């Protein structure tokens, strides 16, 4: 459903991503790993439509979206759980979720989706009228995921969802990501928690200094000594 072809991404004159070729098929769980500053967030933001590619191809369901304005990506079935959550902190949890379903298609089924999402994150039910900024880190991360699900995405982008969470909540987070994927939503997961990410991913890309240096099934990647040493500490 998504294809990047030899895409180059720049911040002003500085190139952040070089010759990125990446595909995600419908319903697939793909993970991207790499050291700090490799360009993982940049990649996620490009796919969410928040940053444009400087050259190369970007197709969504066969359509060229390299010049599409940011606010149209949501309608194409893409939703983002950004790095650092970026909730609308002064607005209530409910308002954040309503905003998640701002797109016309999602708006029509807002009530049903809200019920589903509340069933998925029962702790949020009693927090619906609280300002999102007042919640704990783990709860905020749940709101960020719930907000993205409200958009009824076909591709969910997750940028380091486990960052800063307690270990038991990290386990919950991974279970939730798996459940979402099991319902047929494709997932692109960026994670520092490489072992756990590779455990649930179907395919993975390794990004270093703005370039994809390896890709394949998790098993293939973990058999390469360089990757085991750099990312799995073995």
Partner 1 sequence: MFVGALYGLLGLGLTLSWGILRQINLAYFALTFLAAYLCYQLSTARGIDPLATLLLIAPGFFVIGVALQWVFARFRVSPFNSLLVTFGLTVIVESVIQSIWTADFRRLESAYGVAKFRLGVLYVPAPELITLALSIALSLALYAALRYTDLGKAMRAAAEDGPMASAFGVNRRFIALALSGVCATLSAVAGVCLALSYTLAPAQIYAWIGVVFAAVLLGGIGRPLGPLIAGIVIGVSEALTMALTAPSWAPLVSFSLLILLLLVRPDKA
Residue 16, binding choice from partner 1, ligand ATP, Mg ion, none, Cβ under 5 to 8 Å by partner class: ligand ATP
In DSSP terms, which residues pair with 188 in a beta bridge? 30, 157
Residue 100, binding choice from Mg ion, partner 1, ligand ATP, none, Cβ under 5 to 8 Å by partner class: partner 1
Q: Which of 22, 3, 29 is nearest to 187 (CA)?
A: 29
Tokens of residue 178, six digits: 């798996």
Tokens of residue 14, six digits: 């500085």
d(CA 100, CA 111): 12
End-to-end CA distance of the chain: 35
- According to the binding rule CB under 8 A, does residue 83 interact with partner 1? no
Residue 208, binding choice from ligand ATP, partner 1, Mg ion, none, Cβ under 5 to 8 Å by partner class: none
Segment interacting with partner 1, rule: CB under 8 A, options 93-101, 119-127, 158-166, 177-185: 93-101
In DSSP terms, which residues pair with 208 in a beta bridge? 211
Confirm if 152 and 75 have CB atoms less than 8 A apart: no
Taking CB under 6 A as the criterion, which residues in 24-83 touch ligand ATP?
A: 34, 36-42, 83
Tokens of residue 33, six digits: 């790993």
- According to the binding rule CB under 8 A, does residue 99 interact with partner 1? yes
- According to the binding rule CB under 6 A, does residue 16 interact with ligand ATP? yes
Instruction: Give the containing element (helix H, strand E) for 89.
Output: none
Question: Is the CB of 12 or the CB of 69 nearer to partner 1?
Answer: 69
Question: Is the CB of 16 or the CB of 188 nearer to ligand ATP?
Answer: 16
| Residues binding partner 1 (CB under 8 A) | 48-50, 69-75, 79-80, 82, 86, 88-91, 95, 98-100, 102-104, 107, 147, 151
């Amino acid at each position: 459903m998504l294809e990047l072809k030899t895409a180059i991404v720049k911040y002003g004159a500085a190139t952040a991503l070089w010759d990125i070729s990446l595909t995600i098929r419908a319903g697939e769980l793909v993970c991207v790993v790499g050291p700090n500053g490799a360009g993982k967030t940049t990649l996620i933001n490009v796919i969410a439509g928040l940053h444009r590619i400087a050259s190369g191809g970007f197709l969504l369901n066969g359509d060229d979206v390299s010049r599409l304005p940011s606010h149209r990506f949501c309608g194409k079935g893409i939703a983002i759980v950004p790095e650092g959550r970026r909730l609308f902190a002064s607005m209530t949890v409910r308002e954040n979720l309503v905003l998640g379903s701002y797109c016309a298609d999602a708006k029509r089924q807002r009530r049903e989706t809200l019920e589903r999402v509340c069933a998925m994150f029962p702790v949020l039910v009693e927090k619906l009228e609280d300002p999102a900024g007042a919640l704990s880190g783990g709860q905020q991360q749940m709101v960020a995921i719930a907000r993205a699900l409200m958009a009824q995405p076909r591709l969910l982008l997750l940028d380091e969802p486990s960052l800063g969470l307690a270990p038991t909540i990290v386990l919950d987070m991974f279970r939730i990501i798996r459940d979402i994927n099991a319902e047929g939503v494709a997932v692109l997961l960026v994670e520092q928690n490489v072992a756990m990410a590779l455990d649930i991913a179907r395919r993975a890309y390794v990004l270093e200094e703005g370039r994809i240096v390896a890709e394949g099934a998790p098993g293939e990647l973990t058999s390469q000594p360089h990757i085991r040493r750099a990312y799995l500490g073995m």
